[in-house]
Copies of this chain bind each other. A is one copy, B any other.
Amino acid sequence: MAPCRARALLAYQLPLLRAAALKKGSRGQWAAKSFAHSARLASGRRQSVGGFTVNQDRLMNDLHRTCKWGTGKRWGSLDTETGMSRLSLSDSDKKARDWFVETTMALGCSVTIDEMGNVFAIRPGRNVGPPTCVGSHLDTQPSGGRYDGILGVLAGVEMLRILNERDARTHFPVGVVNWTNEEGARFPISMVSSGVWAGEVPVETAHGLREVRGGTVTMRSELERIGYLGSVPASHTSMPMAAHFELHIEQGPILENHKQKIGIVTGVQAYRWYTVQLTGRDAHTGTTPFDARADAMLAACRMIACSHDLAAKHSALASTGILTLTPGSVNTIPGQVKFSLDIRATSDATLETLEAELKAEFSRLASKDVTKGLDVSVTWQTDTISPAVDFHPSCIETVRASALSVTGDTSLFREMVSGAGHDSVYTSRHCPTSMIFVPCRNGVSHNPEEFAKAEDCATGADVLMQSVLRFDHLRSEEEV
């Protein structure tokens, strides 16, 4: 069976890759073909893709209704004005999953659950072949909101409803995926289940992940407990997809600040995480003149300020979210300081340059030439290297065509690079992928007050559905 599937996959993927130029390089090297707005469905009625729009009220009703499972902290007086606390594989996550399975089956989908609890709801097309999917996640941060992940899955369900209502038949199957434990909030690897699907995280590692904060359960034991430990391997070969589109709130302020409605996400920033450790010498704040100090705290402050300045020079980002020091007394100069450094840029090359400059500059700042006292020693530990991701030009083009079709105004959308990781990072390694962003209030996310306007959610869902339909049409043309 597996070899046949793999062959079927190749049969449709090759032309797509051809269209997109064979060499995958840095963004801009792609030579993608552009898509007509006149793409038509495979259905007998030959409806124009541009006419497909979601039912905003139903979408939002579904979204808020399913947020009764795992409701979090209240921040406003309306029923819908609460955050979410739906940790992956919890009882509330099970209820949301059960709803997803029942609803999509009732809409005529076949549902597959793999060994990571990823749920694939597939609506048949006119032809057989891997589905064109939309996917995101139903789990949230412990103190999260109602939109991150949830909007992407619920917009997929709404797409299925619309396709059914309009009796639309796609050339190939389309699907909706709920990826398990995207947040990494309960089991401490983010995007772990799309990572297993992509072959980047061993399934044993994922299954063995223990609940954070000293819990004793594992991902596997919780999958089993809530009845979502499927028998199908979590793998891009067992469950291939023709494409993966993900609708998500931006989690940043760019769209809102530019009064725009849609972000066409062309890729994901590269990022690297480091722990920088400084060793100076504990000393009394009152009795130790500046020229006799090895002040690890002062050196750390100069480095953090410097990381900001160097990152700005390269149009990159630098941030420190954690800093610890010892001994931690008002009148003792800290001898030890450890801080996290998170640097990000759209290209790996920029990040490489920035890292080299930071290492040189931090050494200088720690030396007695700058401290005018004693040397402070610096060590760097690299914790994470996440290369830049370039999404697929065909997918980016279908999103662009759909954004134009839905908004009718090029000033209302923009290309952007995702600053955060998503399941789409892993899917992009094995199938054409891109994402669609919608604005969220103040760019706030991972917070109960996370909020996106209903009309913006619906606009995003329109673009998502039309992207799937345009991609489906593209596949049919290339199959000819």
The answer to whether B420 and A287 have CB atoms under 8 Å apart is: yes
**Complex formed: what's the CA distance from A323 to B421 in Å?**
30
Q: What is the copy number of this chain in the assembly?
A: 2
- Supply 14 A–B pairs (Cβ within 8 Å), ascending by A: A251-B284, A252-B288, A253-B292, A269-B286, A285-B317, A285-B321, A286-B421, A288-B419, A290-B317, A297-B320, A297-B323, A302-B305, A323-B323, A332-B446
Do the beta carbons of B332 and A273 come within 8 Å of each other?
A: no
Q: Answer yes or no: A216 CB below 8 A from chain B CBs.
A: no
Cβ–Cβ contact A305 & B298, under 8 A: yes
Contact A287 B419 (CB under 8 A): yes
Check if B322 sits within 8 Å of A328, measured CB to CB. Answer: yes
Interface residues of A in 237-293 (CB under 8 A from B): 250-254, 257, 269, 271, 273, 282-290, 292
Question: 8 smallest A-B Cβ distances: which pairs?
Answer: A286-B419, A252-B287, A287-B419, A285-B319, A301-B301, A253-B292, A301-B304, A251-B287
- A340 in the interface, Cβ–Cβ < 8 Å? yes
Contacts of A317 in B (CB 8 A): 285-286, 289-290
* Cβ-closest chain B residue relative to A319: B285
B342–A285 contact, CB under 8 A?
yes
Minimum distance in angstroms from A304 CB to a CB of chain B: 4
Whether B443 and A283, one on each chain, are in contact in the complex, defined by CB atoms closer than 8 angstroms, is: yes
- Which residue on B lies nearest to A256, using beta carbons? B292
In chain A, positions 324-347 with a C-beta closer than 8 Å to chain B are 325, 327-334, 340, 342, 344
Knowing A321-B285, A321-B331, the reply to whether A290 touches B305 (Cβ < 8 A) is: no
User: Do B284 and A420 touch (CB < 8 A)?
Assistant: yes
Whether a CB of chain B sits under 8 angstroms from the CB of A428 is no
Report A's interface with B, CB cutoff 8 A.
Answer: 250-254, 257, 269, 271, 273, 282-290, 292, 295, 297-298, 300-302, 304-305, 308, 311-312, 317, 319-323, 325, 327-334, 340, 342, 344, 383, 418-421, 443-447
Tell me the nearest residue of chain B to A286, going by C-beta: B419
Minimum CB–CB distance for A417 against chain B, Å? 10
Since A284-B420, A285-B319, A298-B308 are in contact, a sample of 12 more A-B pairs with Cβ atoms closer than 8 Å, ordered by chain A residue number, is A251-B284, A285-B321, A285-B419, A287-B418, A287-B443, A288-B419, A297-B319, A297-B320, A298-B304, A321-B327, A330-B383, A331-B420
Instruction: Judge whether A329 and B323 touch: CB under 8 Å.
Output: no
